[in-house]
Amino acid sequence: MAMVTDPVCGMELDDSQAAAQTIYGDERYFFCSEDCRRTFEENPEEFVTTG
């Protein structure tokens, strides 16, 4: 169990109870809902911070 932050809406959630997840680049991202996952996958660069 680890606390993670949904990159789309900012909600903190337990990664083991996330409603959805995806991999982008070398990172796994967790989401509170399928809606947030879809939003992320449409334009991941908007939500991923680099550097």
Domain range summary for the chain, segments of one domain joined by +: 3-46
Q: Which pLDDT band holds residue 50 (cuts at 50, 70, 90)?
A: low
Q: Express each pLDDT in 9-28 by its tens digit.
A: 999 999 999 999 999 999 99
Q: Does pTM top 0.75 for this prediction?
A: yes
46 vs 17: CA distance, rounded Å: 24
State the Cα–Cα distance between residues 31 and 40, nearest whole angstrom. 9
pLDDT in tens, 34-48: 999 999 999 999 999
- Spatial distance between the Cα atoms of 36 and 25, rounded to a whole number of angstroms: 18
pLDDT at 21: 98
Q: In Å, what is the CA distance from 10 to each residue of 4, 47? A: 9, 10
Confidence of residue 1 (pLDDT cuts 50, 70, 90): confident
pLDDT at 19: 98
Residues 6+ apart with CB under 8 A from 3: 12, 13, 14, 15
